Amino acid sequence: MQAFAKANDVAKVERPSREEAEAAVRTLIRWAGDDPDREGLRGTPDRVVRSYEEFFAGYGEDPVALLERTFEEIDGYDEMVVLRDIRLESHCEHHMVPIIGKAHVAYLPGKRVVGISKLARVVEVYARRLQIQEKLTAQVANTIQAVLQPRGVAVVIEAGHQCMTTRGVHKPGVTMVTSRMLGAFRDDPRTRQEFLTMIGTPIGRGQD
């Protein structure tokens, strides 16, 4: 567990001061072609920095710790636990623009379960970092598997990327779907199909 947590941790960087961050925003405003001292923009550096504190709060949280409080009194429950349609807001690490979508998370309990809000919080912690969707999907699944040690974990994320809808190829309405299947969800096609049917994702549509 310690090895996993260390490998899964984000790099420790020396953060600039708030004043330096606000100065960087002022520079970007000037680079965009506007005057950071005009009335409408005077408070923008402060607002952007406060927004970044919220957008990227995941760097200051430990997703492993969220899952460490579990419950063993489950009366033999061994069926699938599924949390569907978890709202997901992240930012593309290549262009720093929003990734908006939803995540579906499932696991097959071994000897213990975790509060369902903790599953949503794990998604949120990883999402509130600079991301690519593939890595985000794997991080959520790998963390749940490592901490809870269930018989299997499945994570599917469906999201729109503004790096391709508002810039570049300008293709609105496109949704990217990624999945990570571990344990029984990878090894047993029936278990995997049950999960995909329950969440009704494009991965599961059109299959018998």
Active site residue 104: no
Catalytic residue (choose from 20, 93, 134, 207): 93
Nearest Cα neighbor of 165 from 98, 112, 117 is: 98
Question: Is residue 123 predicted with pLDDT exceeding 80?
Answer: yes
pLDDT tens digits, residue range 76-89? 888 999 999 999 99
Q: Is 161 a catalytic residue?
A: yes
43: number of Cβ within 10 Å: 9
In the sheet that 176-183 helps form, which strands lie side by side, from edge to edge?
130-131, 81-92, 98-108, 152-161, 176-183
Catalytic residue status for 193: no
pLDDT number for residue 74: 79
Among residues 91, 139, 145, 161, the one annotated as catalytic is: 161
Q: From the candidates 19, 68, 94, 134, which is the catalytic residue?
A: 94
pTM of the model: 0.88
pLDDT of residue 1: 54
Q: Model confidence over 179-198: pLDDT tens digits? A: 999 999 999 999 999 999 99
The answer to whether residue 163 is catalytic is: yes
The per-type count for the chain, helices as H runs and strands as E runs, is 9, 7
Instruction: Please say if 91 is a catalytic residue.
Output: no
Residue 6: the pLDDT is: 46
Question: Catalytic one among 89, 92, 149, 193?
Answer: 92
Q: Which of 89, 95, 149, 162 is an active site residue?
A: 95
- pLDDT greater than 70 at residue 206: no
- Candidates 133, 139, 145, 158; catalytic one: 133
